[in-house]
Structure 1
Amino acid sequence: MFTRIVTSALFAGAAAGLIAALLQLYFVQPVLLHAELYETGALVHFGGDAVSAHQDVGGIDPLRDGLSVLFTMLVYTGYALILVAAMAFAENRGHVVTARNGIIWGIAGFAIVHFAPGFTLAPEVPGVAAADVYDRQIWWFATVATAALAVWLIAFGRNWLAWAAAVVLLLAPHVIGAPEPDQFTGPVPTELGALFAARAFGIGAVAWILTGLFAGHFWRREADREA
C-alpha cells in the first residue's frame, strides 16, 4: 500500500507540477517581474511620467526558471502525497477512486489550499502592503486545516449535523478575518495585483485538477497491476 501511494503521488505530482510550472513561467512570472520594477522604484505608478502597461521585463533567466520549475514540481508532489493518502483512506471505506472522480478530488484540493484562504487573503504581488508574515502564515494554515476538515465532512458526513459543522468551519476563519496592514499602500498598480491574483487562482485550479486526474489514474493503474 505504501509503495502504491508513493509511486502514484510521485508520478502525479511531477506531471502536474511540471505543467503548472510552465504555465506560471508564461502567465504569472511576467506579472511578478513587472511588479518588481515598481517595488524597486524603476517604475513609478503615481507622481511620475506615464508608463506603458506593456513593459519589457527582461529575457529568460535559466537558473531562476529552472529552480522555479523544480520547486513547483516538489510542491505538487507533496500535495499529491496528501491527496493519494486521502484517496487510499477513502478506498478503504469502500469508495472507488478513478481518474474521472480524481478530478473531483483535485477540485476539492484547490478549494482547500487556494480558494479558501485566498477568499480573504488574496495572492499578492511584491511591493504591496501586508500584515506580519508570521501572523498571515498562522491564519493561512488554520484556514487550510479547517477547510480540509469541512470538505471531508461534506464528502463523507452522514447527517445534517456534520454538514452544518462543515459550514461553520468554512466560514469561521473569514468571520474572524485575516491579518491586515494598518494602511493599504504600495507602489504597485492595483491592475497588476488583480491580474496576478486572477492568474494565480486560474493556474492553481488547473494544477489541482491535473493533480487529481493523474493521481486517480496512477492509483487505479497500480491497483490493477496488483490485482
Structure 2
Amino acid sequence: MMSRIFTSALFAGAAAGLIAALLQLYFVQPVLLHAELYETGELVHFGGAAVSAHQDVGGIDHVRDGLSVLFTMLVYTGYALILVAAMALAESRGHEVAGRQGIIWGIAGFFIVHFAPGFTLAPEVPGVAAADVYARQVWWFATVGTAAIAVWLIAFGRNWVSWGIAAVLLLAPHVIGAPEPDTFTGPVPTEIGALFAARAFGVGLAAWVLVGLFAGYFWQREGQRAAQAQTA
C-alpha cells in the first residue's frame, strides 16, 4: 500500500508540478518581476509621471527559473502525496478513485489550499503593505486545516449535522478575519496586484486539476498492476 501511494504521488506530483512551473514562468513570473521594479524604486507610480503598463522586465535568469521549476515540482509532489493518501482512505471505505474522480479531488485541493485562505488573504506581490508574516502564516494554516475538514465532511458526511459543521468551519476563519496591516500603502500599482492574484488563482486551479487527474490515474494504474501481480 505504501509503495503504491508513494509511486502514484511521485509521478502525479512531478508531472503536474512541471506543467504548473511552466505556466507560472509564462503567466505569473513576468507580473512578479514587474512588481519588483516598483519595490526597488526603479519605477515610480503614485505621484510620478505616467508609466507604461508594458515594461521590459529583463532577460531570462536560467538559474532562477530552473530552481523555480524544481521547487514547484517538489511542492506539488508533496501535495500529491497528501491527496493520494486521502484517496487511499476513501477507497478503503468503498469509494471509487480514478482519473475522472481525481479531477474533483484536485478542485477540492485548490479550494482548500488556495481559494479558502485567498478569499480573505489574497496572493500578494512584492512591495505591498502586509501584516506580520508569522501571524499570517498561523491564520493561513488554520484556514487550510478547517477547510480540509469541512470539505471532507461535505463529501463524505451523511447528515445535515456534518454539513452544518462544515459550513461553520468554512466561515469561521473569515468571520475572525485575517491579520491586516496598520495602513494600506505600497509602491506597486493596484492593477499589478490584481493581475497577480487572478493569475495565481488561475494557475493554481489548473495545477490542482492536473494533480488530481494524474493522482487518480496513477493510483488506479498501480492498483491494477498490484492486482495482476497477485493473480500471476
* Superposed pair shares fold, TM > 0.5: yes
Whole-Å separation in 2 of the counterparts to 1:153 and 1:48: 52
**Could you list the runs of 5+ residues in structure 1 that have no partner in the other structure?**
none
Matches within 5 A, 1:27-66: 27-66=27-66
Residue 46 of structure 1 and its aligned partner are, at CA, apart by 1.4
User: Paired residue for 1:184?
Assistant: 184
What count of residue pairs does the alignment treat as equivalent?
A: 227
| Per-residue deviation, residues 82-105 of structure 1 (Å, max 9, x unmatched) | 000000000000011010010000
Look up the SS of the partner of 1:97 in the other structure. Answer: coil
Point out the more displaced range, 44-53 or 157-166.
Answer: 44-53
User: Paired residue for 1:149?
Assistant: 149
User: Paired residue for 1:114?
Assistant: 114
Residue 51 of structure 1 and its aligned partner are, at CA, apart by 1.2
Whole-Å separation in 2 of the counterparts to 1:148 and 1:47: 44
Find out whether 1:80 has 2:80 as its counterpart.
yes
Whole-Å separation in 1 of the counterparts to 2:48 and 2:208: 41
| Per-residue deviation, residues 43-78 of structure 1 (Å, max 9, x unmatched) | 001122211100000111000000000000000000
Taking structure 2 as the reference length, what is the TM-score of the superposition?
0.97
User: Paired residue for 2:230?
Assistant: none
User: Paired residue for 2:167?
Assistant: 167
Residue 138 of structure 1 and its aligned partner are, at CA, apart by 0.0
| Per-residue deviation, residues 106-154 of structure 1 (Å, max 9, x unmatched) | 0000000000000000000000000000000000000000000000000
Displaced runs of 4+ in structure 1, greater than 2 A?
none
Whole-Å separation in 2 of the counterparts to 1:46 and 1:99: 49
User: Paired residue for 2:206?
Assistant: 206
Find out whether 1:92 has 2:110 as its counterpart.
no
Sequence identity percentage: 85
User: Paired residue for 1:25?
Assistant: 25
Considering only aligned residues, what root-mean-square deviation do their CA atoms show, in Å? 0.4
Whole-Å separation in 2 of the counterparts to 1:74 and 1:45: 36
Taking structure 1 as the reference length, what is the TM-score of the superposition?
1.00
